[in-house]
Amino acid sequence: MSTKDGPLYLGFDLSTQQLKAIVITSQLKVLYEAKVDFDADLSKYGILKGVHVNEQEREVFAPVAMWLEAVDLVLQRLKLKNTPFSRIKGISGAGQQHGSVYWSMNGEELLSSLNPGATLVEQLARKAFAHPFSPNWQDASTQKECDSFDAELGSPERLAQVTGSKAHHRFTGPQIMRFHKKHPAVYRATSRISLVSSFLASIFLGRIAPFDISDVCGMNLWDINAGAWCEPLLALAAGEDGLEDLKKKLGGVREDGGGRMGNISSYFVSRYGFPSDCGIAPFTGDNPSTILALPLRPLDAIVSLGTSTTFLMSTPKYLPDPSYHFFNHPTTAGLYMFMLCYKNGGLAREKIRDKLPKPINSSDPWSTFNETALSTPSLGQSSPSDPAKLGLYFPLPEIVPNVRAGTWRYNCDSDGSNLRESEKGWSSDADARAIVESQILSLRLRSHNLVHSPSKEYPPQPGRIYLVGGGSLNPAIARIVGDVLGGVEGVYKLDVGGNACALGGAYKAVWAMERTKGESFEELIGGRWRESEAVEKVDDGYRTETWSKYGKVLKTFEKMEGEVLKGEKRNK
Ligand SMILES: Nc1ncnc2c1ncn2[C@@H]1O[C@H](COP(=O)(O)OP(=O)(O)O)[C@@H](O)[C@H]1O
Ligand SMILES: O=C(CO)[C@@H](O)[C@H](O)COP(=O)(O)O
C-alpha cells in the first residue's frame, strides 16, 4: 500500500506538559506530527509545567478544560499540515497515569450530542464535569489514605501482591478516597470517574469509555491475579457512600487492549472530516503506551525521560514488591510491565541546568549542562584518591525513596567505604553530572532483580537500553546512562524523539484495527517494524571499567538514601 492512499492511524499522548499526536501508515511510517505545549500555548489556564500546585496541602492538579482545548488545537495543527483525516481508520493513545476526571450527572449526554460548529471546551467545560480539575500524578496529599490502603490488606507487601503496587500518593484509589472526604457533595454529584486515558478515549468515542486493562493497575484498586476489582479497597475508598455506588462510578474494565470500542463521535466526522467508520481502540497509560513503541525483547529496558523518569521492562514474571510497580501488559495477556517511577526527573535536571551559565554560542538550552556533565569525571573524581560525590536532588517529594523535598550531597571513598555528608558541598558544575548519575544509579539499584547476565562474559544488566521522552534528545544523558546502567548491546534513542508514547498509541491503533484472529501485538508490529528506520544507537553502553566503578558505590548509594530516610523519620 503506498503512503498516498492507504489507511492511516492516529496516536495521542496526553502527558503532563503536552498533548502530542502522531499519524502513521499501516506499515508504521510516520507521516504527520503535531503537539500542544500547555505552558506555551495555553498559559491562560494559569498553569506552570502543565499543572497547578497547592503547596500547603501538597496538592497538584490540572484543569480538564485545558485538555479539551488542547484536543481541538492539536487537530487544527494537524489540519494545517494537510493531514488527510479522511484516511484515518483507527485512533488510540495514552494519558498520564493515575489522574482522575469526575463527570457530572449529564456529562455523558453532553458528550454524545456535541455540535460540530462549536469547540469541545465551549460545550463541555462548564457542565460536563462535577469537578473542573484532575488530580495529577505529582500530588502528594494522600499520606493518610495511603496508610489506610496499606493497612486494609495487612501490609504494603500484600497490597503490592494484589494490586501490583503498595499504596502511592498518586494512585487513583487513595486519591478518590481523599476526594470523597474533602468534597462529599461533589463526589455525590459525580456520575462517572475516568482515568486520563479513558477520558481522552471518551472524547473521541462520544460516550464514556471503560478503563484499560493496563492503566487500571495504577489505581491500587484492581486485583491483578483475580482480574477483578478488589472490593475491600473499593469499600475503603468509597467510605459511607458505599462499594456499589463507587463500582457504578468506575464502570467497566475492558480486558482486550485491541479491537474497537466503537466508531468515532460524529463531532470529529463533521468538524475535521474523519470517516464515520474510524475505530476507537482502548487508550492506555503513557508508560504502558511507551513500551508499545518498539518490539521490546525480554532483557531490553526503556528509560523514559519525560517530566517523570520511568524505567520500563516487559516480563512474563509477576514479581511484585513494595519498591516498584507491576501492571498488566497493555496488549498481551500473560505479560506484565515492570516500572520504576520518579517524580524528580526532567524538572529536577532543569533546575540544575538553570544554575549554570546560559549558553552563549548555542541555541540548545542544554549545551552548558551537557559540556559540564561530560567534562566532569565519573563520580566527580579526577583521581581515585579524590572523594566520590553522591547526591540526591529532589525539588519535589520523591516516590522511591519516599522522602521529602530536598538536596543532599555526600562523599565516600572509591571502594564505597567511609560515607559521610559532604561538609562543604560542591559547585553547580559538579551537580550537572552528579544529578544524572544519581538518577541512573537509583535505576540500577532497583532493577537488578529484573535483569540477568546476557551471556557468561557479562554481569547482569539490560541487553539494549532505549531512551524515550524529552530528555532522550540529550547526548550527555545518553552517555551517562551507558556509563552507569550499561546495556551490552548499547543505548538507543527512537527517531521520533520525545514522541515515543504517542507512537506506541499509533502502533496500538494499527494492531487494534488490522489484527487477524489471535494475532498478537508482538507478531503484527514485530513483522512490520524496521529497526533501521526507527532507532538510532547513541552510546555503546556497557564499559567494563566504568560500570564496575559505579558498582562499587551502589550499596553506598543505597546507604545514603537510608541515612536521608532516617532523617525523614526524625523530622516527622
Ligand atoms: N535536549 C534535552 N535535554 C534534556 N532534557 C530535555 C531536552 N529536551 C527536552 N527535555 C526535557 O523533556 C521534558 C519534557 O519531556 P516530555 O517527554 O515531552 O514530557 P511529558 O511527556 O511529561 O509532558 C522537559 O521537562 C525538558 O526538561
Ligand atoms: O506517575 C507516573 C507513572 O506512575 C508518571 O510517569 C505519569 O504517567 C506521567 O508521566 P510523564 O508526563 O512524565 O510522561
Q: Is 309 in the pocket of ligand 1 (CB under 6 A)?
A: no
- Could you list the mean pLDDT of each consecutive 10-residue stretch along the chain, which spans 572 residues? 84 97 98 98 98 96 98 98 98 98 98 98 98 97 97 98 98 98 98 98 98 98 98 98 98 98 98 98 98 94 95 94 95 96 96 96 96 98 96 94 94 98 93 98 93 93 96 97 98 93 98 97 96 95 98 98 84 47
DSSP three-state, residue 154? coil
Q: How do the domains of the chain map onto residue ranges? A: 8-287, 294-344+459-542, 346-448+545-571
pTM comes to 0.95
Q: How far is the CA of 308 from the centre of ligand 1 (A)?
A: 9
* Residue-level pLDDT at 376: 98
Any ligand 2 atom below 6 A from CB of 170: yes
Q: Which of 144, 146, 45, 57 is nearest to 98 (CA)?
A: 146
Strands of 68-198 (E only): list them. 88-95, 100-103, 133-135, 192-195
Ligand 2 pocket mutation pick from 19, 341, 443, 503 by most atoms within 8 angstroms of CB: 341
Reported ipTM: 0.97
Cβ(289) to ligand 1 under 6 A? no
Ligand 1 pocket member 99 (CB < 6 A)? no
Ligand 2 nearest-atom number relative to CA 168:
4
How far, in Å, from the CA of 374 to the mean position of ligand 1?
19
Task: Tell the residue nearest (CA) to atom 19 of ligand 1.
Answer: 306
Ligand 1 atom at minimum distance from 365 CA: 1
Distance CA 102, CA 329 (A): 26
Residue minimizing CA distance to atom 4 of ligand 1? 471
Whole-number pLDDT of residue 498 = 87
Q: Which helix (H) or strand (E) holds 483?
A: helix 475-485
pLDDT at 449: 84
Domains 8-287 and 294-344+459-542 belong to one CATH topology: yes
Q: Which CATH number fits domain 346-448+545-571: 3.40.50.300, 1.10.3720.10, 3.20.20.70, 3.30.420.40?
A: 3.30.420.40
| Superfamily (CATH) of domain 8-287 | ATPase, nucleotide binding domain (3.30.420.40)
**Per-residue pLDDT at 567:** 82
Q: What Å distances lie between residue 144 and 169, 237, 509, 527, CA to CA?
A: 9, 12, 39, 48
Ligand 2 centre distance from Cα of residue 498 (Å): 14
Whether 15 lines ligand 2, by a CB cut-off of 6 Å, is yes
| Ligand 2: residue whose CA is nearest its atom 6 | 308
- Cβ of 372 closer than 6 Å to ligand 2, yes or no, is no
Tell which CATH classification among 3.40.50.150, 3.40.50.720, 3.30.1490.270, 3.30.420.40 matches the domain 294-344+459-542: 3.30.420.40
Q: Which ligand 1 atom is nearest residue 473's CA?
A: 1
If we measure between CA atoms, which residue out of 248, 309, 300, 322 comes closest to residue 439?
309
Three cell numbers, residue 455: 551471556
How remote is the CA of residue 136 from the centroid of ligand 2, in Å?
A: 9
| Nearest ligand to the CA atom of 172 | 2
pLDDT of residue 570: 54
pLDDT at 572: 46
Other C-beta atoms lying within 10 Å of the C-beta of residue 362: 12
Closest CA to 298 of 450, 442, 440: 450
285 CB near ligand 1 (under 6 Å): no
Parallel, antiparallel or unpaired: strands 464-468 and 301-305: parallel
Compute φ and ψ for 5, nearest 5 degrees: -140, -5
Q: Ligand 1 atom closest to Cα of 501? A: 21
